[in-house]
Amino acid sequence: MNPELVGRVFPPTAPYLVGREKVREFSRAVFATNPINFEPGAASAAGYGDVVAPPTFAVVVQESTLAQLLAEPDGGIDFSRVVHGDQRFSYTRPIVAGDELTATLAVTSIKTLGGNAMVTAESAIIDVTGAHVVTAVSTLIVRADAE
């Protein structure tokens, strides 16, 4: 794992248009039960423009930023040795169907522990106005080579 990745900021991803059916599919997959995740009327009554994505939906948008990191030629990351260690979210507002979101990834730390590398990266996700929606923070563990 290349320690010089710390501080690197990757180019913004292509915009991701959040679709109503994608929100509903994701909501079913995570066993969401709140009507605002499925019904536009319930979301509207709660003050939202369309169905509201569950908090972990941000990983769908973040995925393209992590793909940039994993594909970095000088990163030294062997994808076959990567496991997901931690995931956190810091929201300014919920994601709703109709949002067009762009994400920018920054590598914030790399640590070595027992031969394993732990890389933490933050994906700042904004809407079309440039307003912050959520920051998704992932820690990936790159397992050491088997000896």
Report pLDDT for 146.
Answer: 62
* Nearest in space to 52 (alpha carbons), one of 81, 18, 86, 78: 18
pTM for the model: 0.91
- The answer to whether position 114 is within a domain reads yes
88: in domain:
yes
**Parallel, antiparallel, or unpaired: how do β-strands 100-113 and 116-126 relate?**
antiparallel
Find the CATH number of the domain harbouring 84.
Answer: 3.10.129.10
- Domain count for the chain: 1
Within a domain: residue 85?
yes
Domain region containing 118: 3-19+57-142
- pLDDT tens per residue, range 43-90: 999 999 999 999 999 999 999 999 999 888 888 787 788 888 899 999
Q: Is residue 30 part of a domain?
A: no
